[in-house]
Amino acid sequence: MAEEVLKVTRHPNYAVLTLNRPEKRNALNQPLIEAINKALAQFENDREVRALLIRGEGASFCAGIDLKEVDEAEGGHNPTSLESVFGRLERFPVPTIAAIQGAALAGGLELALHCDLRIAGEGARLGMTLGRVGLMVPYDFTRKLIEVCGSANTAWILYTADLIEAARGREMNMVHEVVPDAKLAEVTTALAEKVAGNAPLSLRAMKATVRRCMSETFDAWHDDLLRMAREVRQSEDAKEGVRAFLEKRKPAWKAR
């Protein structure tokens, strides 16, 4: 039987998606990305669903893209499918909630940021660590960081590649609330139930209005940046960075 990489739980008026690769800190491989996309498609037209909760099984929320899969992919990793899925999550017609425990790194942090509401356990660690492995944050993901955290905080998050504690993450607007780790499931379930208890037409109208207000804000020409990002992904440094991470050694950068 194939691994169930995503657990989908349907409650009367909300749904829960649980990333289920705990042995890999819920790293996003292609089957998991496709499973998330399928679940979003399943629920986006379900008029009984008024909220969506996303969580991770085990000790981590999501450690980002599965770098072993990146290392084995020919021609470099292409984030298009991940961007498409996160765009679908951003446009999901009702409020979405991320329950963040442990690691929420790179693509895992972006998964949380593309949710409307984010609650973190006090032991959570957040970061955009792609600079450590020679990869590039896609344009849409940088836009989301700026939208949520502001340009000054985004610069710190990207340039340092630091792991940021949950309390500091709240100061930087990455999360709305920090709670004891043992209370995270209880608090986020209660929040999903609270949101889902509100008027369904109101929720959909509010979500659509918030997204429309933001839709043109970051609509800048960026073909050159997409080209630059593609060159970074296909560079020798990107291959070296990923392999150094997997081999647990310091990368030898060559700027090519």
What's the mean pLDDT in 148-165?
Answer: 96
d(C-alpha 9, C-alpha 21), whole Å: 16
| First-residue to last-residue Cα distance in the chain | 43
d(C-alpha 150, C-alpha 156), whole Å: 10
pLDDT tens-digit map of 92-124: 999 999 999 999 999 999 999 999 999 999 999
In the chain, what are the domain boundaries? 1-182+199-256
d(C-alpha 192, C-alpha 40), whole Å: 16
Which residue, 197, 200, 212, 202, is CA-closest to 46? 200
Does 67 score more than 90 pLDDT? no
Does 2 score more than 90 pLDDT? no
- Residue 27 has phi, psi (to 5 degrees) of -60, 145
Does 180 score more than 70 pLDDT? yes
CATH level 2 (architecture), domain 1-182+199-256: Alpha-Beta Complex (3.90)
Residue with tokens 């109101």: 202
What residues form DSSP beta bridges with 117? 97
240 CB-contact burial (10 Å; exposed 0-12 / middle 13-18 / buried 19+): middle
What percent of the chain is predicted at pLDDT more than 70? 91
SS3 73: coil
Per-chain mean pLDDT for the chain? 90
- Residue 233 vs residue 41, higher pLDDT: 41
- pLDDT of 71 reads 60
Does 233 score more than 70 pLDDT? yes
